Chain A
Amino acid sequence: MSGGLRIALPGGALFADACRLLTEAGVAEVDPARFERQLRVTAGEVTLATMRPTDVPVYVEMGACDAGIVGKDILWEQTRDCYELVDLHFGACRLVLAAPEGSPLAEGRFPQSLRAATKYPVAARRFFDSRGLAAELIKLHGSVELAPAMGLADCVVDITATGRTLTANHLVEVAEAGRSSARLIANQASLKTRSDAVNRLAAALRRTVTAAAVAGAAG
């Protein structure tokens, strides 16, 4: 149904849900097991490629893929010229400002100088700027919650789905800085030159996630 489209899929946490959604939407029968031995799989008329989530917008912007599935949190951090077409609703998580229990910040008082550790410097900068707060950002690549415990930073700006990691590290949420979920993105030229196929893909995914949301609300 989606004639010859090349779709980029994020490896990692969103991968299984992305495969399931494409299958349920009737775009292609996608068996995640097929990706164990290869990164590129042809399913029906579509070609699927799996990659690190941060690389999905790169493949789509450069036209190596027509469309892709990627978390909004990845899109915050990259300036990529892609169309963001549909909120796919899975992979939901929040970007929060969190501080150690008992710290002034955790009690709602913003210190004059603030060091924040984050994997999301662009979104964190936008958050602090929008509230007129001066914060020095420290970009880390993993386990951000370690930074306050070791005295590297006063607080963190990080993604949380359940809040468990924060609690386990004695961090309390101070403010929400953003909400993320998986998105369907498309290359600007593909949207114009293969608009029928891209629009059909978007409509099928939208229908499926809407139906799932309705069923979820009813159940």
Chain B
Amino acid sequence: MKKILTLLIFVQTLAGQTPAPPAAGNAEKGKATYMKIGCYTCHGTMGQGGAGARLAPNPLAAPAFINYVRKGGPNHSFLGGMPAYSNSIISDADLADIRAYLTSIPAPPPVKSIPLLNQ
């Protein structure tokens, strides 16, 4: 339970509560890169989170987003935290594309509109 609570706090932090500025990048290319390098394994194909934090639809602002990927994140589970990706692994331009993809993902429906979540 401790891990879950910690993860929840982490998820809230990364997803951000304020709308991100318009994406500067190619969402289609970003999706392809997101899948190719395996972001989806921890964050889900729609950035919904899983073993890693929720990223979509409101990712961190671009500079913070890139900074986070470059430095990695704190330990939040038995897997450790987000590993750091250097510039030689993924470029700033690719990260901008990935961020554009995450920004393009529609917001989820409200809980009240999903009967299965109201029981």
Chain A partners chain B: no
Interface residues of B (CB under 8 A from A): none
